[in-house]
Structure 1
Amino acid sequence: MALRKGRTSNPEGRMALKEHLKELRNRLFKCALAVVIGSIAGFFLYNPVMQELAQPIEEINNNTGRDATLNFDGVASAFDFMIQIAVFIGLILASPVWLYQLWAFVTPGLKRKERRIALSFLAVAVPLFLAGIGLAWLVFPTAIETLTGFTPEGFSNFISVTVFVPFFLKLSLAFGIAFLLPVVLFGLNMLGILSGRQILKSWRITVFLVCVFAAMAAPGADAMSMFYLAVPLLALFFVAIGLCVLNDKRRARRMASVVAETEATADKASHIEGL
């Protein structure tokens, strides 16, 4: 009730700098708390996750005849990477919370229509971010198999966990963030900053930039991880372009209707004055 009353008395969501910083602190605290709770769950999921990550290494030993092992470099390395994996799992589990807190922090500065756009962004961004993480999980074994396939015959792969785990984390974050880019593109169109026709005219540049981004984001020299990232990204981008074009047509029809209604009202008023 208090929130509704405050919103009614302050419809534009304006607040003093001190209140703004206080709200930022509260929302960061909620984000941190959600990540901490997710990280606690991550500690329990650490062993199953590490066993799944090590599965490609076991397949190398079983299928190729080469020796491949994961090694911890120091005494405390295992504990350090347990924390890293737990926090990473916590970030994934808490993604709906911190994405919502980001939206809620921006909302007071937006108009009602822009709030609906931001809420729609949140509803689409969370599944896409998780889908990117899931796709990275599927691509990871292929990337490991491809990269270790360059090992000469008679040699072994003694892979340090300090290299192996960051490789997986970078791959996952690259896929997750990349899947959010088309949503940002559509959001800019909804806000009237970027038109669908402008994007459509530069589709060749878009394809080129997506391929360049996929090549840079995929943490490896293999073409397969780049391919797995570029194809869904291009599909999402073209879907976003199609939605932008449809939204521009809907906006143009609405504007034409408003103009026609305004002209009709003006003609009617002039006719009355003439009588």
Structure 2
Amino acid sequence: MSLVEHLKELRRRLLIALAAMLVGTILGYIWYDASVLGTPSLGDILKEPYCKIPAEDRLGGELGDCRFIATAPFDMFMLRLKVGFLAGLVLSAPVWFGQLWGFITPGLKKNEKRWTRGFASVATLLFVIGAVLAYFVLSFGLEFLMGIADNTQISALSGIAYLSFALGLLLIFGVSFEVPLVTVMLNLAGILPYQVLKEKRRIIIMFLFIFAAFMTPGQDPVSMVILAVSLCLMMEIATQFARINDRRRAKKAGLSPDAFLTDDLDDEEGSHIGAAAPLGSDGGLESPTPVAPSRPVNASRKERFRDDSGRAPGEGTGYGNSYGSGDLDDIL
């Protein structure tokens, strides 16, 4: 296809994706305040973590009321529109993702299509798992934050503020769960071996806790600990995958499965220098060759040129007897 034909195809696929998003946004806008097929409305699902806060810690809770407040005339409309748009993105994901896949597929080879399809599926699954976990963590984080000064304050959240906090938490959890997948991709590409992950395990754990402390919205300890522990567990799974992959790669190269691994050593212990040996022509390990003993510098010429059998040049051949020792030294 020519450049103009590529651009026309891109425009057509973008229009289809935008139309699907528009239809999804309309459905999400309607679903916000209406129950569909017996399922709770989108607004009820959104505010459920907020309603789990103790009644005495939120405005109207003692009367059995659980609603957000609006501080501007357009707050309720904008909240419903934003939630509907986000729901439309999710509902129309099969359409716009299919259009994206259809545009890039002709430029990929068969094995590249397989790898791209696999990583895209795993990335989507990890993001959904992170978002679902964040939804359940949201109620614990809100309960901690809203109960800090319950004797002097009472919570009355606006819908926009609550939506920003909830979406931020879902997005951070979802994106963070992609870190182990990136680690696996780097290992498969040969950039990040298992030995590096093992040696830097403590630094990685510390970095993940610092990352969770800075990136979690609200910085409440409950959300931070849950995110950090989840990331540490998933990074350990990725590390063990790298270990298995490196063993498979070493075995395929004709080396010992443990050629690049030192699992028998402690994290603070280094390998011994004498344990290493040069590689042979067949890929195996050869025994070390001893170094020949040194000879004194002031030895005679004939002694310095003796081979391993102790024979000097010309000895036993009949050619070296015609020269004297001094004559030979002068010639050399």
TM-score after normalising by structure 1:
0.76
Q: 1:42 aligned to 23, 28, 53, which one?
A: 28
CA drift of 1:77 comes to 1.2
- Change over 3 Å in CA distance of 1:127–1:160 after alignment to 2: same
CA drift of 1:96 comes to 4.9
Q: 1:241 aligned to 224, 239, 242, which one?
A: 239
**Whose Rg is larger?**
2
Q: Unmatched 5+ residue regions in structure 1?
A: 1-14, 264-275
CA distance in 1: counterparts of 2:198 and 2:8, whole angstroms: 42
- Partner residue, 1:119: 117
The alignment status of 1:145 with 2:143, answered yes or no, reads yes
- Change over 3 Å in CA distance of 1:65–1:246 after alignment to 2: closer
In the alignment, is the contact (CA less than 8 A) between 2:146 and 2:154 conserved in 1? Answer: no
SS of residue paired to 1:126: helix
Q: 1:189 aligned to 173, 187, 190, which one?
A: 187
SS of residue paired to 1:159: coil
The alignment status of 1:32 with 2:32, answered yes or no, reads no
In the alignment, is the contact (CA less than 8 A) between 2:57 and 2:155 conserved in 1? Answer: no
- Partner residue, 1:253: 251
Higher relative CO (CA 8 A, sep ≥ 6), structure 1 or 2? 1
The alignment status of 1:215 with 2:208, answered yes or no, reads no
CA drift of 1:97 comes to 5.0
1:1-275 matches, within 5 Å, as 18=4, 21-22=7-8, 24-47=10-33, 48-60=41-53, 62=55, 64=56, 67=59, 70-98=68-96, 107-256=105-254
SS of residue paired to 1:164: helix
CA distance in 2: counterparts of 1:185 and 1:76, whole angstroms: 44
CA drift of 1:223 comes to 0.5
What code does the residue aligned with 2:25 have?
S
In the alignment, is the contact (CA less than 8 A) between 1:38 and 1:90 conserved in 2? Answer: yes
What code does the residue aligned with 1:198 have?
V
TM-score after normalising by structure 2:
0.64
CA distance in 2: counterparts of 1:104 and 1:246, whole angstroms: 34
CA drift of 1:153 comes to 0.7
CA distance in 2: counterparts of 1:21 and 1:199, whole angstroms: 43
Bigger fraction of residues in helix: 1
Deviations 1:107-148 (A, max 9, x none): 555544333221111221222111111111111111111110
CA distance in 2: counterparts of 1:184 and 1:22, whole angstroms: 33
CA distance in 2: counterparts of 1:113 and 1:103, whole angstroms: 15
- Name the count of aligned residue pairs: 245
Q: Taking every aligned residue pair, what percent have the same amino acid on both sides? A: 35
Q: Unmatched 5+ residue regions in structure 2?
A: 34-40, 61-66, 256-280, 283-332
Deviations 1:34-59 (A, max 9, x none): 43333233223313232233334444
CA distance in 2: counterparts of 1:101 and 1:191, whole angstroms: 28
- Change over 3 Å in CA distance of 1:200–1:87 after alignment to 2: farther
- Partner residue, 2:302: none
- Change over 3 Å in CA distance of 1:65–1:183 after alignment to 2: closer
SS of residue paired to 2:167: helix
What code does the residue aligned with 2:229 have?
V
- Change over 3 Å in CA distance of 1:194–1:84 after alignment to 2: same
- Change over 3 Å in CA distance of 1:235–1:65 after alignment to 2: closer
